[in-house]
A and B are shown apart, each in its own frame.
Chain A
Amino acid sequence: MNLFVDAWRWLTTGSNWTGDGGAATRLVEHLLVSGLVVGIAAVIAVPLGVLVGHTGRGRTAVVLAASAARAVPTLGLLTLVALATGIGLTGPVVALVVLAVPSLLAGAYAGVESVDRVTIDAARAVGMTEAQVVRRVELPLAAPLLVGGLRSATLQVVATSTLAAYTADVGLGRLLFAGLKAREYDVMLASALLVVALALVLEGVLALVQRLVTPRTSARAGNARPISTVPEQSPTERTS
């Protein structure tokens, strides 16, 4: 327990935050890398997921690919790409994108797929083109599940970005590895707590976003239950 006191002392010492390798720089780096990775993954996964959800084609292939990607250990991919491309950001970014894609993909296609067929037929009946159906009907209704996918992807990426420091000089993981090498356990614990805090803050923010994009009617429809690690359901939704 003493170690927690030491870690707290490290965290509250101003000089540990400033400078080139200070905690503030590492925190910003960590956020930038995570943001870059989630951005790239979203550009790949969201259009693909929406397409699969809209057309209903290629669903099996996407599910298989996503579950295969889940079994691939991030550290292995990270070191493999780093061996091929050298020390730097490429390794972590590639490995983390592979980590983030399945959640985003699943959120996108499950969201679009969960939209009531009757609603879509109605949109077509009033003369909407396919593009309008996707943009004005399917995407807004899919939003809670889409953000749910974004939320679990972000959570995993922020947590795993710690590993980026294994092959690149970035992020909060840098402090952790430096502490490990020098046997400075207070520094390790302090950086560990920083990552935890960052993950929890982002989780809270995205949970709020998810609540904001949930259409009020979907609570009654019951088919747009947000996929998330933290529940939004009220106890009244219990089925027994």
Chain B
Amino acid sequence: MKWLSQNYPQVIELFLTHLALSVPAVVASFLIAVPLGWSAQHGRGLRGPVLVGVGLLYAIPSLPLFIIVPVLIGTPLRSSATMIVVLTVYGVAVLVRSAADAFASVPATTLDAAAAVGHTRWSSFWRVELPLAGPVLLAGVRVITVSTVSLVSVGAVIGIQSLGTLFTDGFQRGIRFEVVTGIVLIVALAVLLDGLVVLAGRLLMPWTRGSVGRARAKRVRDDAPVLAEPQLASAGKHEEAPR
């Protein structure tokens, strides 16, 4: 505790640095993975190659990647740019698969119906396909949010500052409390960001929230049979799938 009271300004700074590395990587992964996942699902013969490709990306260990990425794209070895690129590679590797599964969960007949009522492919994507794929996509974003926050700390061994610095510094100086502080804060940050992702999901997809309660309320109000939502109900299961 004494250590924390003396060092909290540095801890807060590392926390913010950690946050500043994690969030851009998650956002970038999302922006890259959604179009890739969509084309993997819709492009003829693309699913296999795209998914094998991202699978191989995922097989590359992170520590070596911190050394390979700077050589390939010319970013400095110990820089936040290197870190964000590495994190994005992993985020994309995991999220493309979720995105392909998410778009696969939208029934083809629904897309046909959207086309039949006059949606163009573009508006059908934004107004029909993406909202319906949303819950599965959200589950994927939650997985990469947690793994990204945890992965940032590895950069500390090659000298990229983050909460992981508390591990290397604590280890070198033999301060156990410093390491514990790092672990607790990383888990806390992961939980916090995961919570924000869930919240964003509820705001963007209000129809997934409390469907039972609202369905019951609706039944009382309308006295009409309630339609089941199997598509949405099954979506949550994906979170538990091992990576």
> Which A residues lie within 8 Å of B104 (CB)?
238-240
Which one, B55, B167, B240, contacts A110 given CB within 8 A? B240
- A193-B71 Cα distance, complex, nearest whole Å: 12
Residue-wise, chain B 174-203 has the 8 Å CB interface mask toward A (1 for contact) of 101001101100110011000000000000
- A199-B59 Cα distance, complex, nearest whole Å: 6
Contact A238 B41 (CB under 8 A): yes
> Which B residues lie within 8 Å of A160 (CB)?
61-62
> Which A residues lie within 8 Å of B183 (CB)?
72-73, 76-77, 80
> Which A residues lie within 8 Å of B164 (CB)?
73, 75-76
- Tell me whether A192 and B52 are in contact in the complex, defined as CB-CB below 8 angstroms, given that A180-B158, A229-B93 are known contacts: no
Confirm or deny: B124 has a beta carbon within 8 angstroms of a beta carbon on chain A.
no
- Tell me whether A106 and B241 are in contact in the complex, defined as CB-CB below 8 angstroms, given that A1-B71, A72-B150 are known contacts: yes
Which has the most chain B C-beta neighbours within 10 Å: A163, A203, A231, A235?
A231
Residue-wise, chain A 113-150 has the 8 Å CB interface mask toward B (1 for contact) of 00000000000000000000000000000000000110
Confirm or deny: A178 has a beta carbon within 8 angstroms of a beta carbon on chain B.
no
In this complex, what residue of B is CB-closest to A102?
A: B242
Interface 9-residue window, one of A8-16, A18-26, A183-191, A212-220: A183-191
B193, chain A: closest CB distance, angstroms: 10
In this complex, what residue of A is CB-closest to B62?
A: A159
Which one, B55, B71, B154, B174, contacts A231 given CB within 8 A? B55
- Tell me whether A192 and B63 are in contact in the complex, defined as CB-CB below 8 angstroms, given that A110-B241, A231-B52 are known contacts: yes
Total A residues in contact with B, Cβ cutoff 8 Å: 64
Contact B168 A71 (CB under 8 A): no
Which one, A79, A166, A234, A238, contacts B179 given CB within 8 A? A79
> Which B residues lie within 8 Å of A94 (CB)?
none
> Which B residues lie within 8 Å of A66 (CB)?
240
Contact B176 A106 (CB under 8 A): no
Contact B150 A71 (CB under 8 A): yes
In this complex, what residue of B is CB-closest to A77?
A: B183
B29, chain A: closest CB distance, angstroms: 15
- A196-B67 Cα distance, complex, nearest whole Å: 12
Confirm or deny: A173 has a beta carbon within 8 angstroms of a beta carbon on chain B.
yes
Contact B59 A71 (CB under 8 A): no
- A229-B62 Cα distance, complex, nearest whole Å: 16
Q: How large is the interface on B (under 10, 10 to 19, 20 to 34, 35 or more residues)?
A: 35 or more
Which parts of A148-178 form the interface with B (CB within 8 Å)? 148-149, 152, 155-156, 158-160, 162-163, 166-167, 173, 176-177
Contact A240 B61 (CB under 8 A): no
Which one, A3, A84, A163, contacts B63 given CB within 8 A? A163
Confirm or deny: B76 has a beta carbon within 8 angstroms of a beta carbon on chain A.
no
> Which B residues lie within 8 Å of A107 (CB)?
242
Which one, A82, A149, A196, contacts B60 given CB within 8 A? A196
Which has the most chain A C-beta neighbours within 10 Å: B44, B63, B71?
B63
- A235-B43 Cα distance, complex, nearest whole Å: 10
Which one, B59, B180, B190, contacts A80 given CB within 8 A? B180
- A62-B60 Cα distance, complex, nearest whole Å: 28
Contact B158 A3 (CB under 8 A): no
- A159-B182 Cα distance, complex, nearest whole Å: 22
Contact B59 A229 (CB under 8 A): yes
Contact B47 A189 (CB under 8 A): no
In this complex, what residue of B is CB-closest to A192?
A: B64
Contact B55 A71 (CB under 8 A): no
B37, chain A: closest CB distance, angstroms: 12
Which has the most chain A C-beta neighbours within 10 Å: B60, B158, B167, B239?
B167
Interface residues of A (CB under 8 A from B): 1, 3-4, 63, 66-68, 70-80, 82-84, 102-103, 106-107, 110, 148-149, 152, 155-156, 158-160, 162-163, 166-167, 173, 176-177, 180, 185, 188-189, 191-193, 195-196, 199-200, 203, 227-231, 233-235, 238-240
Interface residues of B (CB under 8 A from A): 41-42, 44-45, 47-48, 51-52, 54-56, 58-65, 67-68, 71, 93, 97, 104-108, 111, 146-147, 149-150, 153-154, 156-158, 164, 166-168, 170-171, 174, 176, 179-180, 182-183, 186-187, 190-191, 239-243
Query: 7 shortest A-B CB distances, which residue pairs?
Result: A192-B64, A159-B61, A230-B55, A240-B108, A79-B171, A106-B242, A229-B55
